Every structure is written in structure tokens, then in C-alpha cells.
Amino acid sequence: MEADALPVTDRVVQRLRAFNRDFSQLMGLLESRYMGSDLSVVEARVLYEIVQREPVLARDIARPLRLDPGYLSRIVARLLRRGFVERGRGEDARERPLSLTAAGRTAYAELDRTTAAQTARMIAPLGEDGARRLGALLGEAGMLLFGAVPGEWSLRTFRTGDMGLITARQSILYHEGYGWGRGMEALIGEITAAFLRDFKSGREQCWIAEREGRMLGSVFLVEEDAETARLRLLYVEPEARGMGVGQALVKQCTAFAREAGYRRIVLWTHAVLESARRIYVAEGYRIAETHTHDDFGKPELSESWLLEL
């Protein structure tokens, strides 16, 4: 069976197994000694767990790493003989917590520096953009596979390449959610292109909500006239909804508009975009005008909103 003809789950299984094989080889995980040290991969991982959790009982390391207690006991014994680890007080060996000695801390610090340096050399050929993309993908993979807690999100201003990403993501989301196809994509593309071409520093801005290199949402504020700014293209990725991203983006527009000397902000939206409308209401906007159009292939009730500053 051709790979593309396989069910989605089977294709992902194949890709994940292939990635594991390639990554294991790339990081030298199949070698008898880890990163040129005197430790095996498993010994290095046990040392890491002790560093992170000391003082810690051996059984509390065995459980999350799924190591056989007897196997772990032999690893700990080797680390004790090398002088890297020492036991605290307890009634028996199983109840005596493990901690690193001074020699163990020195060995771990050197191993940590070597690992970080080799990983940095591996990433360097990717460049800044490639490294950013890799970080975003690893963060997303961690959330999907391990339920990892995502990092904090933040706001930044736009940079090269953002306009294409914004156009693509909004077009896809509006098409999937509301059936708005090429008409909406053309409109978004025109807005983002005009923003870059006619950008007025100090009077206009685009903000990106971002977490670990992944775009979570964006918004634009552009000049309508000397006293009026226009809020445009607010959107939030589904994964980020309920986190306050949309509200923060809208508030950023309000603060910028006041600082730039605008007296009001206007915006255009649609009645079906209920989440966005709730944000506008909370910020103090009111509906100034409504009308129906079919620019996106079917009748939609559009709304013009106004915020007096």
C-alpha cells in the first residue's frame, strides 16, 4: 500500500517511528557512552533526575522512567562507586534519599555544557527562522504527546514574513468556519499588502500574539484619517481562545491609538463572529451601522463599530 493511501494514524505512526530512529542516531543515543562521557545514556538520565529532584528516593526515579528497580539499583551503585552520588540517612538503602556529591555536580555540569553545545551546533545551520520554527513545532508536539504545559504567550510587533502567515491562517479559519473562500482571502491579502506598502510609523501598527515561536493571533491598527484609526483583521487561533489573547490585542490597539493622538477607532465585522463582538463590547465599542452583503459567496450581516477615545 502506498504511504499516502494509509489511514492518517498509520501514516503518523510510520513518521514518528522514522523520526525516533533518525533522532536517536543524530544525538548518539545508540552509542555506549553518552556525549563522550563515562556514562551510558541511562546513567546520564538518572543523574539528571537526581539533579532535578534531589534529595530523591530511587523508587521515585524508577516509576516515571519505567525502569526496573533492580536495574536502577545497579545504576545507582555505579554512580555511588564513581563518587557522583551519595545517600542520605534512612532505615535501609531503599529509604535513603540520593543526592549529588561535589564531584557529581562537576561531572553533570560538564555533561550539560557538552550536550547544550552539541545541540546548538546541530541547530545552527537552520538559521534564526528555522530555529524559531523548530521551537514552535517541538512545543506543539510536546503538548500533543505529553500534555506539556505551554509557555507564557506574549505580544510583539510585526516582522518580515508575518503578513503571509496572517493571510494564510485567517483565510483557512474563515473558510473552515464560515465557508468564506477566495473573496475573503483576496480581501485579507489586499489589506496586508497595503499595510506593508503604505505603513505609517507611529500612526499604524500590527501586533502578533506568540508562544514559543508559534503565532496565536494578530490585529492591525491603521490610519483612517487624521482623527480616526481603524482596527482590522483581529483573529485568535482556536488553541488560544479563552486565554485573553483577543482582549489583549484589542486593548493594545486602544492604548496605541490614544498615544498616537486619534480621537476614535472604527472597525468592520460580521454578526456571526460572536467571540470578537464580545471583546469589542467589553472594550466599549458600539454598533454604528449594519448592512447585508454577499461578497464572500452568501449573505452576511456586516457591522460597523465605533469607539470614542
Model confidence pTM above 0.85: no
**pLDDT higher than 90, residue 256:** yes
Q: Contact at 8 Å (CB) between 100 and 46?
A: no
Write phi, then psi, for 99 (nearest 5 degrees). -140, 160
Judged against a pLDDT cut of 50, whether residue 57 lies above it is answered with yes
Q: What is the mean pLDDT of residues 255-276?
A: 94
CB 275 within 8 A of CB 241: yes
What pLDDT score was predicted for residue 288?
A: 93
Which burial class, exposed, middle or buried, applies to 30 when counting CB atoms under 10 A from its CB (0-12, 13-18, 19+)? exposed
What is the average pLDDT score of the chain?
A: 89
HEC sequence for the chain: CCHHHCCHHHHHHHHHHHHHHHHHHHCCCCCCCHHHCCCCHHHHHHHHHHHHHCCECHHHHHHHHCCCHHHHHHHHHHHHHCCCEEECCCCCHHHCCEEECHHHHHHHHHHHHHHHHHHHHHHHHHHHHHHHHHHHHHHHHHHHHHCCCCCCCEEEECCCCHHHHHHHHHHHHHHHHHCCCHHHHHHHHHHHHHHHHCCCECCEEEEEEEECCEEEEEEEEEEEECCEEEEEEEEECHHHCCCCHHHHHHHHHHHHHHHHCCCEEEEEEECCCHHHHHHHHHHCCEEEEEEEECCCCCCEEEEEEEEEC
pLDDT confidence tier of residue 96, bands split at 50, 70 and 90 = confident
- State the pLDDT confidence band at 93, using cuts at 50, 70 and 90: low
Domains located in the chain, CATH noted: 31-146 (1.10.10.10), 154-308 (3.40.630.30)
Query: 148-152, 179-183, 225-229, 282-286: which range is least confident on average?
Result: 148-152
- C-alpha closest to that of 207 among 273, 253, 241, 275: 253
pLDDT of residue 270: 92
Give the rounded distance of the alpha carbon of 288 from its chain centre.
Answer: 37
Give the amino acid at 246: G
CA distance 278 to 285: 10
Report yes or no: 302 and 269 within 8 Å, Cβ to Cβ. yes
Q: Poorest-confidence range of 42-51, 123-132, 153-162?
A: 123-132
Please give the C-alpha separations between residue 100 and each of 74, 104, 232, 300, in angstroms, as whole numbers.
Answer: 17, 5, 56, 66
What angle, 0 to 180 degrees and rounded to 10, lies between the N-to-C axes of helices 58-65 and 41-53? 120
pLDDT at 1 over 50: no
- Read off the pLDDT band of 187 (50, 70, 90): very high
- Section 150-171 average pLDDT: 91
pLDDT digits (tens, 9 = 90+) for 103-156: 989 988 998 899 899 889 988 998 887 887 888 788 778 777 876 666 688 999
Residue 159 is predicted with a pLDDT of: 93
Do 212 and 135 touch, CB atoms closer than 8 A?
Answer: yes
**What is the pLDDT confidence band of residue 3, given thresholds at 50, 70 and 90?**
low
